[in-house]
A and B are shown apart, each in its own frame.
Chain A
Amino acid sequence: MSKHHVTTNINGEPVEFLCEAQQTMLDVLRDELHLTGSKEGCGSGDCGACSVILDGKVVCSCLMLGVEAEGRKVITIEGIAQGDKLHPVQQKFLEHAALQCGFCTPGLIVAAKALLDENLNPTEEETRYWLAGNLCRCTGYDKVIRAVLDAAAVMRGEPGASVST
């Protein structure tokens, strides 16, 4: 069976790849493009460790075929920081120690960025519901939620909110 030639955009860069129809986007990211930040936790859309932003919407890359990326824009965890400058969500995850083993962290950061791209002033409840599809077995979620809300305050430019340097 011949491979599909896919032309897409990943983290702002034009990208072409070859894949078989049954390869998921997560397979393509990790095995073909060697972008191994996105993780496979469950492979069935329950855990969110493979979250990417597809045309502005957060989705599970394990439930998307690689061929579906044709002509789309994909943002992965590797595209969240601007060069050496961490995104406020990443910085606040560090400051709040919002991770332990780290396996869920790429998905949580991608999903949190997607939330703040849409809503810079989410309530705690909105944040918890938004991130309900990202499972973490370590943190108990509280530090994660605090980190995201703190990052939102920084992004709103609130007095007193800042990132440590």
Chain B
Amino acid sequence: MPRVSYTAPATVDEAVKALAGAAGLAKVLSGGTDLLVQLKSGRLAPELIVDMKRIPEMIGIREEGEFFVIGAATPGVMLSAHERLEHAFPGIVEGVDLIGSTQIQGRASIAGNLCNASPAADSVPPVIAARATAVIAGPNGRREVAVEAIVIGPGRTSLAKGEFVVEFKVPKPKPRQCDAYLRFIPRTEMDIAVVGCAVNVTLDAGGTCIDARVVLGAVAPTQLIVDEAAQALIGHKLDADTLAKLDLAAQRACKPITDKRGTIEYRIKIAGVLARRAAAIAFERAAARA
């Protein structure tokens, strides 16, 4: 790998200063499972790496009032092991669990998964479906944005120079609210999504959907929030007619590419299938909380 400088600040303010002080490209290091591959391949040649894992607030999961707060550098394995988060958002944990192998899980973070800005990132659709926000720090202070505002295209984010994600705030589920995430890959493990779909629903006491978010991955340059799919669910139980409308809405939203993992036609078809299946799981989980 080409020469690079490294610093491991102990506070967010020190990290902001380090990033602002770099003359050339500076990269944030969380788990490093994307960054180190990009350094080795020569795709990136930063002059500075800023390791965020020594900043206490950026590692771990806290509960603050009505929110779960997830430090940006928290590795996947800590999210899967957090019983209250897993109970509240099984769909988020399903997405995180699908990122790479056990070894990758030991390091990879959802902030890295998000900021690497792959359309196929598995943890991103369920986090968006949960209406999570990201707290961003930078030379102009802190700001908080919806997670869906961060990725603007493959490999591109809306973060300005010197900005980085500090933590995610995920509003705790309301009664009878739950989620699910499914992805399709051509093999059983260790591949990149052909399509991913997160569904987050809230039901009333009678099992009718009163709120929903449906988010697709890997079928467009960014993750897609499919409002038409959510509208197909709201006001309904999960009957055949509702499922058919959901399937159609998911298919209509897709703007995929053809690549070695699947054609445009295949991805569109699968998006509808996954939306139906993920909705069925989310409804069942939400109803079980009644």
- Which residues of A come within 8 Å of B, CB atoms? 1, 4, 20-24, 43-46, 48, 51, 54, 57-60, 62-65, 67-68, 70, 111, 114-115, 129-134
The yes or no answer to B100 lying at the interface (CB within 8 A) is yes
Contact A58 B102 (CB under 8 A): yes
A129 to chain B, nearest CB (A): 6
Q: Is B141's CB within 8 Å of the partner chain A?
A: no
Q: Which of B2, B31, B32, B103 has the most CB of A within 10 A?
A: B103
Is the pair A67, B103 in contact by a Cβ cutoff of 8 Å?
no
Q: Are B102 and A21 in contact (CB under 8 A)?
A: no
Given A54-B106, A57-B77, A63-B32, the answer on whether A1 and B101 have CB atoms closer than 8 Å is no
B107 adjacent to A65 (CB under 8 Å): no
- Contact residues on B (Cβ < 8 Å of other chain), bracket: 20 to 34
**Chain B residues, Cβ within 8 Å of A48:** 101, 103
Verify B102–A65 contact, CB threshold 8 A.
Answer: no
- Residues of chain B lying within 8 A (CB to CB) of residue A64: 32, 36, 107
* Shortest CB distance A1–B (Å): 6
Contact with A along B14-47 (1 / 0, CB 8 A): 0000000000000001011100110110000000
Within 8 Å of chain A (Cβ to Cβ): is B75? yes
Which chain B residues lie closer than 8 Å to A21 at the CB level?
Answer: 3-6, 49
**In the bound complex, do residue B39 and residue A22 qualify as a contact, i.e. CB atoms below 8 Å apart?**
yes
B36 engages A65 (CB within 8 Å): yes
Interface residues of B (CB under 8 A from A): 1-6, 8, 29, 31-33, 36-37, 39-40, 49, 51, 53, 75, 77, 100-104, 106-107, 189-190
Contacts of A4 in B (CB 8 A): 6
Known contacts A57-B106, A132-B101: does B6 contact A62 (CB below 8 Å)? no
Q: Which of A43, A60, A64, A114 has the most CB of B within 10 A?
A: A60
On whether the beta carbons of B104 and A133 are closer than 8 Å, the reply is yes
16 A-B pairs with C-beta separation under 8 A: A21-B4, A45-B33, A45-B104, A48-B103, A57-B106, A58-B102, A60-B107, A63-B31, A63-B32, A63-B107, A64-B107, A65-B32, A67-B8, A132-B189, A133-B101, A134-B101
Contacts of B37 in A (CB 8 A): 44-45, 63
In the complex, A48→B104 CA distance in Å? 10
Partner of B6 from the list A45, A65, A130 (CB cut-off 8 Å) is A65
- The residue in chain A whose Cβ has the minimal distance to the Cβ of B31 is A63
Q: Which residues of B contact A68 (CB under 8 A)?
A: 8, 32, 51, 53
